[in-house]
């Protein structure tokens, strides 16, 4: 089977993590579209496996959680029953971020109900040690999910942002104005000075800027839920291990103690080679 040279794979992945679409990467690199998608699939699986096995045992004091919306194929209200059965519709990405060292602790692509929230919360619990403080928004499924996963061994608060009209004339796609915040203790004794979702919401912006699939008002959205998940896995591997955080001046993985150097794209590609060799053995 023909395979791209390592240098060409590095070139393709470098463009993908900087927000280029599949078609633009195809034009820039001369690599066929189906080859790019197959590379994304293979690398996405390798990145997800590495995150699953290695982002564990984290000494985390404060965790911020949020969900970011995007759709696959079509928005939920516009998708037919057949399209929904094929994975089209709304796709929510759940993200848990360490507020101090900034790595993504856990991510999950799926729905937004209690079942998905529970899977997300239990995955966080398996990756951290000690008694963390967790802050989420006021999304109700978090209440039961955090309690089931952590029991009483957590300090958990919700931040409810209150939105209202500002009186100014704005464009069609302008968001509502936040006019206040309501903090509520759910479990334990959270420190209200650190009840915030600002860092994870900033990560949501990074996702929209770094993945063409999350950019609004374009046709770059995912057409398959599997490719959407592969792109998310690649993004968080790049964010945690390769990209130097401007404030930390190291990668989030280094700050969290799960890496001892800044990863190169060649090392990212090597994950794929190691996975393929293991499968062939």
Domains and CATH numbers, the chain: 6-280 (3.30.420.10)
Q: What local confidence, expressed as pLDDT, does residue 177 receive?
A: 79
d(CA 266, CA 131): 37
d(CA 206, CA 228): 16
For the segment 145-155, the average pLDDT, to the nearest whole number, is 98
Q: What local confidence, expressed as pLDDT, does residue 3 receive?
A: 78
Given a cut of 70, whether residue 165 has pLDDT beyond it is no
Q: What local confidence, expressed as pLDDT, does residue 125 receive?
A: 98
Give, to the nearest 10 degrees, the angle between helix 33-54 and helix 225-237. 60
Q: What local confidence, expressed as pLDDT, does residue 172 receive?
A: 59
Which element (helix H / strand E) includes 98? Answer: strand 89-98
pLDDT band at 168 (very low <50, low <70, confident <90, very high): low
**pLDDT tens for each residue of 13-45:** 999 999 999 999 999 999 999 999 999 999 999
d(CA 48, CA 96): 15
Mean pLDDT of the chain: 93
CA-nearest of 66, 85, 80 to 205 is 66
CA-nearest of 260, 256, 261, 257 to 99 is 256
CA-nearest of 23, 37, 96 to 63 is 96
Q: What local confidence, expressed as pLDDT, does residue 277 receive?
A: 75
CA-nearest of 259, 277, 281 to 103 is 259
Q: What local confidence, expressed as pLDDT, does residue 149 receive?
A: 98
Given a cut of 60, whether residue 166 has pLDDT beyond it is no
Percent of the chain whose predicted confidence (pLDDT) is above 70: 95
Residues 12 and 29: beta-carbon distance below 8 Å = yes
Q: What local confidence, expressed as pLDDT, does residue 232 receive?
A: 98
Given a cut of 60, whether residue 170 has pLDDT beyond it is no
Which element (helix H / strand E) includes 78? Answer: none
Given a cut of 50, whether residue 221 has pLDDT beyond it is yes
Residues 128 and 60: beta-carbon distance below 8 Å = yes
For the segment 115-120, the average pLDDT, to the nearest whole number, is 98
Q: What local confidence, expressed as pLDDT, does residue 1 receive?
A: 40
Q: Which of 59-63, 223-227, 276-280 has the lowest mean pLDDT?
A: 276-280
d(CA 194, CA 216): 31
């Amino acid at each position: 089977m023909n395979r791209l040279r390592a240098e060409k794979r590095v070139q393709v992945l470098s463009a993908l993590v900087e927000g280029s679409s599949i078609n633009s990467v195809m034009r820039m690199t001369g690599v066929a579209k189906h080859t790019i998608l197959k590379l994304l699939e293979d690398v996405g699986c390798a990145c997800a496996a590495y995150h699953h096995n290695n982002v564990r045992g984290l000494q985390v004091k404060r965790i911020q959680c949020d969900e970011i919306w995007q759709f696959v194929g079509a928005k939920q209200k516009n998708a037919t029953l057949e399209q929904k059965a094929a994975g089209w519709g709304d796709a929510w990405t759940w993200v848990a971020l360490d507020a101090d060292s900034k790595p993504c602790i856990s991510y999950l692509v799926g729905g937004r109900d209690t079942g998905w929230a529970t899977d997300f919360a239990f995955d966080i619990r398996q990756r951290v040690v000690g008694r963390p403080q967790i802050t989420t928004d006021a999304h109700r499924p978090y209440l039961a999910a955090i309690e089931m996963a952590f029991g009483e061994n957590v300090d958990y608060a919700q931040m409810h942002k209150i939105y209202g009209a500002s009186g100014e004339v704005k464009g069609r796609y302008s968001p509502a104005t936040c006019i206040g915040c309501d903090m509520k203790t759910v479990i334990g004794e959270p420190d209200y000075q650190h009840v915030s979702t600002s860092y994870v919401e900033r990560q949501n912006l990074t996702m929209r800027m770094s993945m063409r699939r999350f950019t609004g008002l374009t046709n770059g959205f995912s057409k398959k839920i599997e490719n959407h998940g592969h792109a998310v896995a690649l993004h968080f591997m790049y964010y945690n291990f390769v990209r130097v955080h401007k404030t930390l001046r190291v990668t989030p993985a280094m700050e969290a103690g799960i890496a001892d150097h800044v990863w190169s794209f060649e090392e990212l590609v090597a994950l794929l080679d190691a996975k393929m060799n293991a499968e062939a053995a």
